[in-house]
Structure 1
Amino acid sequence: MAKRKPTLLACEQSEHHVLLTFKVDEDIEDFKGHFNHFPLLPGVTQIDWAIFYARQYLNTPAHFKGMEVIKFQEPILPNAEVTLSLTWDESKQKLAFSYQSQRNDEAVTHSSGKMKLGDASE
């Protein structure tokens, strides 16, 4: 079976927020074919993980309704240790996400954005 998710190292959770720390293992299937000589984690995978973990930890609705803001600033490379911050705004049905890591004692933002989630009937 192809490996599709990172190794979870830590989790801090409150009612509408979760902070997950991962090791983005080099054997994750999504690295294959996404630039043979310079593998990086595809943006679509980062969005997929944000929705997956939001559903798991924040009980968000299942259906993707669109992106409002998204920025891919720094690539996520194989074996990187990253944090994924997820914040759910129930009243607006919006999920904010941010992938970050540390480089030379400074925070590096890899990607961030907001997406609308809802029920299939909406």
Structure 2
Amino acid sequence: MSLDLAHIARRLRTHPWVDDAQCGDAAGTPGALVALTREGVDALCRQGRQLVADTLQQHVGASLIFRLFDDMPSLVSASQIDALLQAPLPRDALLEHEHERDGAWTLALRIPLDLIYFPGHFPKAPVLPGAVQVAWALSMASPRLGTPVRCTVMEALKFQQLLRPGDRVELCFHHDPLRRKLHFAYRHGEQAYSSGRLAWSAAS
């Protein structure tokens, strides 16, 4: 007996954690794109993805593959819904806008709710790993500054506040070519999240 996906989507929208939902085919398994309310995002940050998924499955009485969002993507067809359900979880931050001034870049980023690193770090209290923050700084600086995508030395690393699902943050960086160093910082207004200097040898 096939599931009524339209009914499941309507049922999902009645849960206080769900702002919107669209259902489709996740490679042979029923799936749902779910835009979470603020309450839903709080539950995700406090208790992890598995609890959110289990709670929503109990609510609709069906086993589903979930993709989680803070804003529902603009989708116009069932094939687009299916494609997003079948796509791999994101590995990168969402770039909202950027600007450069005198060689210093500022990138406005949003941390996806469904980032692939969250279930492993940590399952019940998702936090963006420090290693990912460093890797993002290197990968985003490289096409803009011509710097390497890998470093040989990390200096003065500071991780002051946790980055969680759905957070918005500015990544700021600039290059010191004489010392072969990339200075980076994640911040939001006056709030500092992390910072450091990434260096490489002349042979890099």
Aligned pairs for 1:7-86 (under 5 A) are 7-14=94-101, 16-86=103-173
Partner Cα separation in structure 2 for residue 79 and residue 109 of structure 1: 17
TM-score, normalised by the number of residues in structure 2: 0.54
Partner Cα separation in structure 2 for residue 35 and residue 41 of structure 1: 9
Contact 2:138–2:148 at 8 Å: present in 1 too?
A: no
CA RMSD of aligned residues (A): 1.5
- Does 2:199 correspond to 1:112? no
Partner Cα separation in structure 1 for residue 121 and residue 110 of structure 2: 18
TM-score, normalised by the number of residues in structure 1: 0.88
Post-superposition Cα deviations, 1:52-79, rounded to whole Å, max 9, x if no partner, equal: 0110211113431111110000000100
Amino acid at match of 1:47: V
Partner Cα separation in structure 1 for residue 162 and residue 169 of structure 2: 11
Larger radius of gyration: 2
Contact 1:6–1:24 at 8 Å: present in 2 too?
A: yes
Gaps in structure 1 of 5+ consecutive residues:
none
Partner Cα separation in structure 2 for residue 84 and residue 118 of structure 1: 24
Partner Cα separation in structure 2 for residue 16 and residue 63 of structure 1: 20
Partner Cα separation in structure 2 for residue 25 and residue 95 of structure 1: 25
Gaps in structure 2 of 5+ consecutive residues:
1-87
Identity of aligned residues (%): 30
May I ask how many residue pairs the two structures share in their alignment?
117
- Give the structure 1 partner of residue 18 of structure 2: none
Greater RCO (CA < 8 Å, at least 6 residues apart)? 1
Contact 1:12–1:19 at 8 Å: present in 2 too?
A: yes
Aligned pairs for 1:90-109 (under 5 A) are 90-102=177-189, 107-109=190-192
Partner Cα separation in structure 2 for residue 50 and residue 35 of structure 1: 22
Contact 1:3–1:28 at 8 Å: present in 2 too?
A: yes
